[in-house]
Amino acid sequence: MVPHWLHALALGCLVLGFACTIFIAIDTMRHPQRMWIMNLVWPVNGLFGTVLTLWLYYRFGRLAARDATRGSPSNGKKATPFPVMVAKGAMHCGAGCALGDIIAESLALAFPVIAILAGWKTLFSEKMLAVWIVDYLFAFLLGVAFQYFTIKPMRDLSPMAGIAQAVKADTLSLTAWQVGMYGFMAIAQFMIFRNVFSVRLEPSMREFWFMMQIAMIAGFLTSYPVNWYLIEAGVKERM
């Protein structure tokens, strides 16, 4: 049985995530980002990064607002340290992964046949492992879309060239993110909730989404060094 304190903690962290997302979304409407896709990236990352994302946004995200750069995007870049640029690059993956996982988990909860089609009861005895395939597909498609709307305008590429570069930039980074996220969710499911609380984590539980918040942070940590390499190599853009 899940203890009451964990119910309360999960609810509090989820509410905090929604509150941070709302604050950031309202501010990006008042001060739109020069790169419009960041108007989505920042709020979505607030769902799991909560107060840290909120701080990063007000400290560095505002530097890339249209009314802060005074017509020159280089001004914001000069004031943004390279480690923060890497964090912003990783956050592109975070936005795609977060939205992809929310969509996939919700669909699998509403329509269990999706998990069956992904291999549950045939390839996998665990439903969660089958849903991870669906998670990855949605996260990959959304992650590539986020990268496309970053790389294409910055490099002035054709649509097909933009898609190719987006796939190149996002595949390794997103996979590294999912490794960290899946790793933590496996620990939460099999080592913590089943062994300690004798409960199976399900998307219908607030604790599941609380664990997903932590898993996303784990994904950020495993994706960060990959993004460092990709940005230094010029595969991903500095922002």
pLDDT in tens, 93-103: 899 889 999 99
pLDDT at residue 72 tops 60: no
Least confident of 70-74, 192-196, 216-220, 230-234: 70-74
Q: What is the DSSP string of 119-175?
A: TBTTTBSSHHHHHHHHHHHHHHHHHHHHHHHHHHHHHT--HHHHHHHHHHHHHHHHH
Instruction: Write down the mean pLDDT value for the chain.
Output: 90
Which amino acid is it at 206?
R
Structure pTM?
0.91
Confidence bin at 224 (pLDDT 50/70/90) = very high
**What's the rounded mean pLDDT across residues 143-163?**
82
Least confident of 25-34, 73-82, 95-104: 73-82
pLDDT in tens, 111-147: 999 999 999 999 888 899 999 999 999 999 998 888 8
